Amino acid sequence: MATEQFLIAGELRADSFLPWIERHIRRLGLHGAASWRADGQVEIILSGPPDLIDAMELGVSLGPIDVWVETVGRRPLANTETA
Amino acid sequence: MSGDPILDEWYPVALVSQLGPLGRDTRLLGQPIRVYWGTDHQPQVSDANGRALPVTCRYGHVWTCPGTPSRPLFDIPEADQPGRRLVDVGVVRVKCSPLRAVENFLDIAHFPFVHTDILGAEPHTEVGRYDVQIRDEVDEVWATKVQFYQPQAAKSAAGGITTEYMYRVPAPTVAVLYKTCPPRPGEWDVITLFVQPLEQDLCEVWPWMALFDDTTSLTDLIHFQQTIFVQDRSILENQLPRLLPLDPGMEIPTRADMTSIAYRRWLKRRGYSFGAQLVAA
Amino acid sequence: MTAAWTPVALARDLPRLGVMPVCVDGIDVALWRSASGRLAAWADRCPHRGMRLSHGFVRGEALSCIYHGWSYGASGSCLRIPAHPDLEPPEAIRVPVHRATENNGVIWVALGDQDNTPPALTGLVPLRSVTVQARAEVIRSASGLAIGADGIARGHLASIAVAVLMQALPEGATVLHVLAEPADPAALIAASRAVEALRRAAESKGAA
C-alpha cells in the first residue's frame, strides 16, 4: 500500500471532472478524494497498491472529453498507516 | 484550406505495385474516391466530384489527402537505407474503427494470448516499465525501451529471447514499429501499419516492412505478417464499443496500456474524431 | 415482470470449459461453464478494454479474456492481470454477473433479480436449437402450437409432443429451443425434420 498526492494541471474547468475522478477511484478499488485548489489545479490524495495508483494516473491523464490534462504531478506522502 | 484536422491528414489508398490498369474505386472517410494511373504514368486520386486530390507515392503506397495537407508525409528514414528489403504485404479489410486498428498495433500485452507461441507465450506475460512521450517538436507519439519475451523471434532462433521494440505514431492512422533485428545488432527492423479509414467503423489495413532479412522468402514474410493480422482481426471486430473511446471512464487502463492512452490523448488534443467516441460508453 | 427468464441454450450444447455468446433482451451475455460444471452468465465485455468475453477461454473455475488474459472468478471479480503478475486485483474490478440456471436440459438467464424459477418442463428431453429469421408471433402462427399459461408453446410435431421455447434475437430473428417427449430415435429424427420445416414455413411467411 502507498499513499500519494496527485496535482493535476491543464484545462480543467468542467464540473464533470471531480465526479469523473471519484468514479474512477472507485472503479480501481482505491481510497481517495479529489478537490479543487485555489490555483485552479485539482488535487487527489490516493492510497492503494502502487500498480493501481499508476493506473489512476493513466486514466486521469486522458480524463473526460471536456477536460484537457496537461500534467499529473505525483508525490509520495508519508505513510502513517501501519495496519 | 480546409483546416479540418481529419481532412488534412495523409491516408494510404493503394499499393503502387498492385494498382492495375483499371485503377481502384475505394472509399476514404466515408466518401468515394478513385485511384488510377494518370496520363503522366503517375498514380492520381480524385473524389466523387472528379476533383484531383494531392498525391504522394512513398513506402510502396499511394497516399492522398482530402483537404489541404497540414504537413508533408511523415518520414521513415530507414526506407532509404541500403540493404533493406521493402515488403508490400497487401491489404486486410477489418470491420473496426481505423483508430482501434492502430491502437491494437501499439499493444504488446496481448502477444501471449492472441499471437500465442509466435510473438509471446505464457507465463512470460509481464509488461515492464517503458517510456512514452508525445514529442512536441515532431508532433508524434513515441514509446521506447519496450521489452517483451518472444518465444520465436526469428526462424533461425532456437529458443526465446527478449526483444526490444519502439513504437511511433506519425499520423492518426499510421503506426510504425521498430524491432531489434537479430542478424544485425544495432539496427532495427521496421514494420508499419498503414490504415485507410473507409468509414468510422470500417478500415483497410496495409502492413508494410523494411527488413534486414536476405534469407526468408517473400511469400513467407508476407504470410507471417498476414497470419499475425488475421489473429488481430478477431479481436478488433469484437471490441465494444465499435469506436475508440477518448474517455476511458468505462475501461480500466493500466501501466501496460500507456501507449494506448498516449495515442488517445494525442488524438484528443488534435481534435481527431473520425472513428472515435467522445463520451465513455 | 414474470417472464424474465430467457431460454438461451440447451445444456448439452455448452460443455465444461465452454463459453458462448447469447442474447437476452437485446443484451449481450457471455455464457460459460467451469471445469467443475458451474454455469455462469456475465456481461459480454471485459472491463479492461471492451473485448467480448465470449471469445475468451475457461481454465478451472475462471473465465479469461482472450485479449490480455485478464481472468475473472465465480463472483465476476478479477483474479489476475497477466501484464502485472504481482498485482492482486481489487474487488472493485469485476464483470457484471447475471443469474443463470439449468433445468430439464435447458439453460435460462435472467438479467434482474428473480425470485421465481423458470417454467418446469418435466417429462421432456432436449431435441435441438434452431435459429429462425422470423419473429416469435410469426413462428407461433406458422406452427399451430398453443401457448400455455406458462407462456410456452406446446403441441405436436411429426406426432411427437413438443414444447418450443423462444428466445428473441435483435433484428427480428428468434432462436427456438425444442424439447420433445421421450421417443425412439426415428421418431425424434422425424420431429427434428418437422422443426426444420417449421423454420422454412415461418421464414417464408415472414418474408411474404
User: For position C135, which CATH number holds?
Assistant: 3.30.70
β partners of residue B163: B148
Question: Is the pLDDT at A82 greater than 50, yes or no?
Answer: no
Q: How confident is the model at residue B2 (pLDDT cuts 50, 70, 90)?
A: confident
Residue C129 and residue C171 share a domain:
yes
Residue C87 and residue C16 share a domain:
yes
Cell of C70: 485478464
C-beta atoms of A49 and C91 within 8 A: no
Query: CA C143, CA A19: separation in Å to the nearest integer?
Result: 54
**Residue A82 resides in a domain:** no
Closest CA to C17 of C56, C51, C43, C45: C56
Mean pLDDT value across residues B211-236:
94
Which residues of B lie inside 8 Å of A (Cβ-Cβ)?
A: 246-249, 252-255, 257-258, 261, 264-265, 268-269, 278-280
Instruction: Give the end of a domain, one of C62, C80, C110.
Output: C110
pLDDT in tens, B67-87: 999 999 999 999 999 999 999
Residue C154 and residue C182 share a domain:
yes
C-beta atoms of B125 and C82 within 8 A: yes
C-beta atoms of C49 and B114 within 8 A: no
State the residue range of the domain holding A68.
2-76
- Closest approach of B133 to chain A, Cα-based (Å): 12
Mean pLDDT value across residues B150-174:
83
* CATH fourth-level superfamily of B82-277: Naphthalene 1,2-dioxygenase Alpha Subunit; Chain A, domain 1 (3.90.380.10)
SS3 B231: helix
User: What's the structural domain count of chain C?
Assistant: 2
Residue C78 and residue C139 share a domain:
no
**B215 compared with C24, residue with greater pLDDT:** C24
Give me the pLDDT at residue B32, please: 98
CATH number of the domain located at residue range(s) B11-64 in this protein: 2.20.25
Q: How many CB pairs (< 8 A) connect A and C?
A: 21
Closest CA to C139 of C75, C81, C196, C66: C196
Distance between alpha carbon A46 and the CA centroid of its chain, in Å? 7
ipTM surpassing 0.85: yes
Q: How confident is the model at residue A14 (pLDDT cuts 50, 70, 90)?
A: confident
Which residues of chain B form CATH 3.90.380.10? 82-277
Q: Where are the alpha helices (DSSP H) in chain C?
A: 136-143, 185-207
Which residues of chain B form CATH 2.20.25? 11-64
β partners of residue B179: B165, B189
Query: CA B174, CA B168: separation in Å to the nearest integer?
Result: 8
**Residue A81 resides in a domain:** no
Residues 6+ apart with CB under 8 A from C166: C7, C136, C139, C153, C174, C175, C176, C177
State the residue range of the domain holding C20.
5-110
Q: How confident is the model at residue B251 (pLDDT cuts 50, 70, 90)?
A: very high
pLDDT in tens, C45-70: 999 999 999 999 999 999 999 999 99
- Closest approach of B278 to chain C, Cα-based (Å): 16
Query: CA C178, CA C194: separation in Å to the nearest integer?
Result: 11
Q: How many CB pairs (< 8 A) connect B and C?
A: 69
Mean pLDDT estimate for chain B:
95
pLDDT in tens, B14-46: 999 999 999 999 999 999 999 999 999 999 999
Q: What percent of chain B has pLDDT over 90?
A: 90
Question: Is the pLDDT at B155 greater than 60, yes or no?
Answer: no
Taking CA atoms, B251 is separated from B97, C30, C91, in Å, by 17, 18, 15
**A38 compared with C205, residue with greater pLDDT:** A38
Q: What is the DSSP code (8-state) at residue B54?
A: P
Give me the pLDDT at residue B183, please: 79
Q: Search chain C and give the residue with CA nearest B115.
A: C67
**Residue C184 resides in a domain:** yes
Residue C25 and residue C98 share a domain:
yes
pLDDT in tens, B257-275: 999 999 999 999 999 999 9
SS3 B123: coil
Name all chains with 3 or more CB-CB pairs below 8 Å to chain A.
B, C
Task: Collect contacts of A25-30 with beta carbons under 8 A, ≥24 apart.
Answer: A25/A56, A26/C92, A27/B252, A27/C92, A27/C93, A28/A52, A28/A55, A28/A56, A28/A59, A28/B252, A28/C90, A28/C92, A28/C93, A29/C89, A29/C90, A29/C91, A29/C92, A29/C93, A30/A56, A30/C90
**Residue A30 resides in a domain:** yes
Our separate counts of H helices and E strands in chain C read 2, 15
Closest CA to C59 of C88, C33, C31: C33
C-beta atoms of B255 and A28 within 8 A: no
Supply φ then ψ for residue A50, to 5 degrees: -55, -40
Question: Is the pLDDT at B151 greater than 90, yes or no?
Answer: no
C-beta atoms of B125 and C85 within 8 A: yes
User: For position C42, which CATH number holds?
Assistant: 2.102.10.10
Instruction: Give the end of a domain, one of C85, C110, C135.
Output: C110
Q: How confident is the model at residue B171 (pLDDT cuts 50, 70, 90)?
A: very high
Q: What percent of chain A has pLDDT over 70?
A: 93
Mean pLDDT value across residues B158-186:
91
Inform me whether the C-beta atom of residue A29 falls under 8 Å from chain C C-beta atoms. yes
